[in-house]
Chain A
């Protein structure tokens, strides 16, 4: 469980009950009032690695950025209107390949306390677009943080009242039993990112083991939730063929393929500017030890290698699950 030595709180955020609750819960933390979260979160010359070891909590009020259009580096899963929303910035896990290291100047966690305004804004968007895929957990892991920073119940309640909205909640977390016991929703998908155990050990610091994640996947399916499996990013590591084969064998020996809603796969890829920062932070990481190509502002492995990685994982998956339920990123 995360503990915060310091809580920075916007003066406006102080009036929200959730802020008061968090301040009460972390009553040992130093409370520092701020005018605008960006004054601390967007400072220049911050030290991501050092901050990550001692993450602080920033309580803020989101003013206008309640949703964003989906990135070209992400799937739309067949939805014409694909958006994502970030009610929390940054993650408790420390994955070496994560683009958040490049996206944000700070490793501290920002929690936007005005969740109801997200709902208002997305309701309006939904009225305009009629159908919508909204991914909630791209810039954080909402489920991992939910025991401390509760958001999931609110989002699921919102989805329950808006059937034309499809929610995707992506996670590596396993502390989800309470959430999964809720009444299931047809328009909510829990998506687990799975990696070979060796990748988890080397590059997903703080994240649960594969075995635990598979257990959570199984539990979610048994409760009746739609579950998406994300093998993304696929990393070029020594003996990658073997490790991804083991991962997929472990997956389908734990859960029945018929009961998985769909699978998405994608080779490691990243906005070039973020990639430069990640590479600087992890110069020795073996998944970065090969040549790189940059196309249209996105850095990734050379095309031949990408095809090998994708092809191998696709072939392994296709033994268990129909291709129409597998989404492979082309980028």
Chain B
């Protein structure tokens, strides 16, 4: 069972279509779409909303059946990152607390990896953070901490598609939808790899 957390409906839309997910009309607090294997929740923007939605979704499912909890969405990045490129995140830093979080990436893959900074609010290229080499988003740190309450870090992933070079006002909903839609093959590969990790692994956490 895979849980996908997307901040915006426009990010979720290509995934809903691709995985043929049906809206769960019984849930009113969030938009949830699901199939037998995949549960997608639209969290809203920001790390608190992302954490809340992640915990909400995880709490509704038997933990031992969860193979992967993944945050899929767009992000900003300095100009040396190409717009449209997809990254598997190997380190998340919460900008406000400075806490670093580390998903365990235990399988071989063909994607590029990157580090990610979770900010409190969108920012432009004049920010002092722009000098770093991180991707930037608004959710991942909250998402990760909530997910890690339920599963071990090799079952948590964060996939980000670069939508802008630190110019968030240039990103439209249709652009975000297109950027995610263009990366469905890579998303498929990652979901497949994670879902084939040993299932007994959950027993070994401490």
> Which residues of A does B touch, CB under 8 Å?
5-6, 8, 30, 32, 34-35, 39-40, 43-51, 53-54, 56, 105, 277, 280-281
Contact = CB atoms under 8 A, between A and B. Distances in A.
Interface stretch (B16-24, B45-53, B197-205): B197-205
B205 A46 contact: yes
Interface in B50-103: 90-91, 100, 102
B204 A47 contact: yes
A100 to B, nearest CB: 13
Contact of A45 (B90, B148, B203): B148
Contacts of B102: 8, 32, 39-40, 43
A32 B204 contact: no
A43 B105 contact: no
B131 to A, nearest CB: 15
Given A30-B113, A280-B204, A281-B204, A49 B198 contact: yes
Query: What are the 10 closest A-B residue pairs judged by CB atoms, nearest first?
Result: A47-B152, A54-B106, A49-B204, A50-B201, A47-B201, A45-B205, A50-B154, A45-B152, A48-B204, A30-B113
B189 interface: no
Query: In the complex, which of the residues A39, A44, A47 has the most CB atoms of chain B within 10 Å of its own CB atom?
Result: A47
A46 B203 CA distance: 10
Contacts of B197: 50
B132 to A, nearest CB: 11
A92 B107 CA distance: 18
A145 to B, nearest CB: 20
Contacts of B105: 5-6, 30
A51 B200 CA distance: 13
A40 B90 CA distance: 12
A5 B108 contact: yes
Contacts of B91: 32, 34
Nearest to B113: A30
Contacts of B201: 47, 49-50
Nearest to A34: B100
B195 interface: no
Contacts of B104: 46-47, 50-51, 56
A32 B90 contact: yes
Contacts of A277: 206
A47 B107 CA distance: 14
B142 interface: no
A280 B153 contact: no
A317 to B, nearest CB: 36
Nearest to B198: A50
B115 interface: yes
Interface residues of B, number: 26
A67 to B, nearest CB: 27
Interface string B101-141: 01011111000010100000000000000000000000000
Given A34-B100, A39-B100, A51-B154, A105 B107 contact: no
Interface string B151-177: 111110000000000000000000000
Contacts of A6: 90, 105
17 contacts: A32-B90, A32-B91, A34-B100, A39-B102, A40-B102, A43-B102, A45-B153, A46-B153, A47-B202, A47-B204, A48-B205, A49-B201, A49-B204, A50-B152, A51-B104, A280-B203, A281-B204
A47 B108 contact: no
A120 B127 CA distance: 45
Nearest to A39: B100
A40 B202 CA distance: 19
A38 to B, nearest CB: 11
A49, A50, A280 interface centre (most CB from chain B within 10 Å): A50
Contact of A47 (B100, B113, B115, B205): B205
Contacts of B108: 5
Contacts of B155: 47
Contact of A54 (B107, B115, B151, B203): B107
Contacts of B90: 6, 30, 32
Contacts of A32: 90-91, 102, 115
A8 B202 CA distance: 24
B106 A53 contact: yes
Given A47-B155, A50-B201, 13 more contacts: A8-B102, A32-B91, A34-B91, A45-B148, A45-B152, A45-B205, A47-B152, A49-B204, A50-B104, A50-B154, A51-B104, A280-B204, A281-B204
